[in-house]
Structure 1
Amino acid sequence: MNFNLQNLLRENIKNLTPYSSARDEFQGEASVYLDANENAYGSPLEDNYNRYPDPLQLEVKKKITAIKGVPPRNIFLGNGSDEAIDILFRSFCRPGIDNVVLVPPTYGMYQVSANINDVAVKKVPLTPEYQLNLEGIAEAIDANTKLIFICSPNNPTGNSINREDVETLLANFNGIVVVDEAYINYSRQKSFIQELTEYGNLVVLQTLSKAWGLAGLRIGMAFASEEIIEVFNRVKPPYNINEASQKLALQALDNIDQVNQWIKETLKERDKLVLGLKNFSFVIDIFPSDANFILVKTASPKAVYQFLVEKGIIVRDRSKVELCEGCLRITIGTPIENEQLLNSLKNFQA
């Protein structure tokens, strides 16, 4: 493989002079800040938010480094993983010219971002076992293919993608392979962040929204080579992670023991929920999951969905998604919520 990041970058991004904020131009400590046109009197809130936040979120990245073992220079923090996905399209894909490969069923924002950026999508469906069709992907790739998105554990199927297959793509594709690991904390598979030094074309996405329980803060993470992270930082808005989110993330990242306990509880509840659902005649199949949700195939998905809505229980109807016909996606709740779901389904008439 002959991977060269500069050959992938759009010309306008190569030539881009990023916005230089006041906090970029001065980094350090001072007693009087008169450089950023902030309100010097403070804010009406108990915590002062009158100053702009650190544009590179260095304190948050240091704590992530302590947990993940990846240096800050290899970390990008975004307004959810969706910002990182969008920056990949804006940085590497020329509108109306380049294309990306998606492997449905998969996370829907890859397609949405492609559409917003006027980038063609080549779809290579997963196999019936929800694994990569490597031959189909190889046939789909052409000279203008810039990105391949792999979600593992996959959403909405819940399974992990075979590691060797992803490594085959990384070793043979001259573009960027994006491995979205939003649910990696629930998986038995090890993260691909350990492979960053081996593959210069690897971008790993993770998030604080799932296992860390910070969905409301919107903090996504991208791990990649220093060269790729420099591109992210050049393209992103100057203050993309607000001060409140940074402060709360710093507090949360000190509580890894609590998060690990929640993960264990979730996995235990996942097993219990699977066993309970297998007792219902309208449940045809429950697919293996490495995530905090399960994909359940039923004889009448829309009827089950509507029945649960009337009981005040909301699941996700995925029955119209390719290779997910008849399926509902059910997030693992608390023990009480899971029991409520099972008790309600006892009254469902197929």
Structure 2
Amino acid sequence: MDLSLLIRKNILNLTPYSSARDEFDHVAEVYLDANENPFENGYNRYPDPYQKAVKNRLSEIKGLPVENMLLGNGSDEVLDLIYRAFCEPMQDNVVSHNPSYGMYPVLSEINNVPLRKVNLDEGFQLNAQAMIDASDKNTKLFFICSPNNPSGNILAKAEIKKILNLKRGLVIIDEAYIDFANTDSWLTELANYPNLIVCQTLSKAWGLAGLRVGMCFASAEIIKVLNAIKPPYNVNELSQQAALKALNEEKHFKSNLKIILNEKIKVEQALDQMPSILKRFASDANFILVRVADAKALYDYLMARQIIVRNRSKEYLCDNCLRLTIGTPEENERLIEGIKAYSKN
């Protein structure tokens, strides 16, 4: 695949902004190159524009070279960069399945790039041929969310490979919830598919939603393009420091992850005993999608008890469905007791 044929022409010819830290990448005693305030307070200097310390640690965890990584101000910035690098407004299009993550259509509208939604089959299963049929010579991107949001299920690998093998545009697999799933990440396939981009985040399993650190993994060629258009200091110093601290405490991460997964089993078992839960969908994420008789009534009942869940009833295949995030043991118990109390009314 010739990546230059996918990149927007103005991006292909772009001269990237060169920051002070691009021009000098060594340790010195006096820094007078970036018009910074000289009085040290821990944050008076610009952060590392390429987050080298964080990427080096991620390289150890993920088993990938730093050249295959881009970090963003949340995954939403990463996704927006992909749109801006490869999609010509009002000319190109992108394809995604439905339902899926709600930011894809928002980013499409912002970037003036039509999004073609392809409905999932019953059971929230991906139909690769339907997505391929929806594409054309102007399709630059395929967005696939796996585990999917709001359904929570892993999408079939064989179906995704059909789209990758088409080699029509780039295939972005959004793995925000992959740490909760009992399956391999698509990172293991990066070397096999030059048209593959994998997005992950530190917001979910790593518990750093407030920091806004998204991760993008792709070929060095794709990463180079995205680095050329990203803001020079897009991940701030506080976020870099806190992310590195969390990544260095992998035991703590695994301990909390185990608690969440065990709690998920308990919540699933409790939901299966409740007559008000008409259907519980299988989930590979840290949330559970359930169908009830009246989603709004249950949502309002729980809200009155100071318990907030997500009403997903407007989404395709999600009539009268609520999405329940797995919380602490105490929070999960309040949720279970709340639904039980509702059932008795």
| 1:261 Cα deviation from its structure 2 partner | 1.4
Counterpart residue number, 1:336:
330
Contact persistence 2:46–2:233 (CA under 8 A): yes
Mapped partners of 1:55, 1:93: distance in 2: 25
After TM superposition, the structure 1 = structure 2 runs for residues 210-289 of structure 1, keeping only pairs within 5 Å, are 210-289=204-283
Aligned residue in 1 for 2:304: 310
> 2:81 matched to 1:83?
no
Give yes or no for contact 2:203–2:209 (8 Å, CA) kept in 1: yes
Which residue does 1:115 correspond to in 2? 109
Aligned 8 A contact 1:282 1:300 in 2: no
- Alignment match, 1:161: 155
| 2:22 corresponds to 1:24 | yes
3-state SS of the aligned residue for 1:312? Answer: coil
Q: What is the SS of the residue equivalent to 1:195?
A: helix
2:8 and 2:85 in contact (8 A); partners too:
yes
Distance in 1 between residues matched to 2:132 and 2:69, nearest whole Å: 30
1:301 equivalent to 2:299? Answer no
Q: Distance in 2 between matches of 1:113 and 1:174?
A: 20
Letter in 2 for 1:122: R
The gaps in structure 2 that reach 5 residues or longer are: none
Amino acid at match of 1:277: L
Equivalent residue letter for 1:41:
F
CA distance in 2 between partners of 1:135 and 1:233 (Å): 33
Give the TM-score normalised by structure 2: 0.98
What do residues 14-52 of structure 1 show as CA deviations (whole Å, max 9, x unaligned)? 011111100001111110000000001223xxxx10000
Q: How far off its partner does 1:129 sit? A: 1.8
Give the secondary structure class of the aligned counterpart of 2:210. Answer: helix
- 2:5 corresponds to: 7
What do residues 170-220 of structure 1 show as CA deviations (whole Å, max 9, x unaligned)? 111321000000000000110011111110000000000000000000000
Quote the Cα distance in structure 1 between the aligned partners of 2:273 and 2:126: 31
Give secondary structure in 2 for the equivalent of 1:96.
coil
User: What code does the residue aligned with 1:223 have?
Assistant: F
Corresponding residue number in structure 1 for 2:35: 37
2-structure distance, mates of 1:51, 1:336: 42
Q: What secondary structure is seen at the aligned counterpart in 2 of 1:91?
A: helix
The residue aligned with 2:59 is 65
Deviation at 1:345, TM superposition (A): 1.7
| Runs of 4+ off more than 2 Å | none
Q: Which amino acid aligns with 1:134?
A: A
Residue 270 of structure 1 aligns to a residue whose secondary structure is: helix
CA contact (8 A) 1:212 1:259 kept: yes
RMSD: 0.9
Deviations 1:277-313 (A, max 9, x none): 1222221100000000000011110000000000000
Q: Which residue of 2 aligns with 1:54?
A: 48
Aligned residues: 344
Deviations 1:130-176 (A, max 9, x none): 11112211211101000000000001000000111111111113210
Q: Tell me how far apart the structure 2 counterparts of residues 149 and 173 of structure 1 sit (CA, whole Å).
A: 14
Match of 1:192 in 2: 186
Q: Is the 8 A contact 1:127 1:133 kept in 2?
A: yes
Q: Distance in 2 between matches of 1:251 and 1:28?
A: 23
Q: Give the percent of matched residue pairs that are identical in Structure 1 and Structure 2.
A: 52
Write the mapping of 1:133-172 to structure 2, written as runs, cut at 5 A. 133-172=127-166
TM-score by length of 1: 0.97
Q: 1 CA distance for matches of 2:146 and 2:339?
A: 30
CA contact (8 A) 1:99 1:121 kept: yes
1:184 aligned partner, one-letter code: I
Separation in 1 of the partners of 2:163 and 2:275?
41
Give me the whole-angstrom Cα distance separating, in 1, the residues matched to 2:128 and 2:164: 12
2:128–2:160: 8 Å Cα contact kept in structure 1? no
Is the CA contact 2:202–2:208 (under 8 Å) kept in the aligned structure 1? yes
1:4–1:174 contact (8 Å) kept in structure 2: no
Structure 1 contact 181–205 (Cα < 8 Å) conserved: yes
